[in-house]
Amino acid sequence: MSRTTLPLWDHVAKGHAEFPQLRSLSTVFMGAIMINAILSIAMLSAFLLLYGAWKRWRRDGVSQQMWLMVAAALVVFANVAIWVVPDENGQSLATGAVEQP
């Protein structure tokens, strides 16, 4: 008995063609995962920048590189806040990006 097997991607694409609601659910789900992952990585990098600036300050004292690391961390914190803080309607850019098809 021979059975033809398709690659996994062909099954996924066929499933989406047969069930359009599955496409929208998976897109929203993957969008939420990606937005959360990107914002989490950004926050981790900002905290690591602050930690590196603190270590540099302890080792060498005040330096230009330390202040640049602090400034970069503040920029990352501000960018994450722009994406996460909700507006008057309770919507944020992160939730709006996930809900759009």
List pLDDT tens digits, range 48-73: 999 999 999 999 999 999 999 999 99
Longest Cα–Cα distance of the chain, Å, equals 75
Q: Which residues of 76-99 are buried (b: 16+ CB within 10 A; e: fewer)?
A: bbeebeebeeeeeeeebebeeebe
Is 40 part of any domain? Answer: yes
Q: How many domains does the chain have?
A: 1
Helix axes 20-60, 64-84, angle to 10 degrees: 160
Whether 3 is covered by a domain: the verdict is no
Lowest mean pLDDT among 13-22, 34-43, 53-62, 64-73: 13-22
| Residue 1 domain flag | no
**Which range marks the domain in which residue 71 is found?**
8-99
Give the model's pLDDT for residue 17. Answer: 54
Confidence (pTM): 0.65
CA angle, 51 then 54 then 83, to 5°: 45
CB 11 within 8 A of CB 88: no
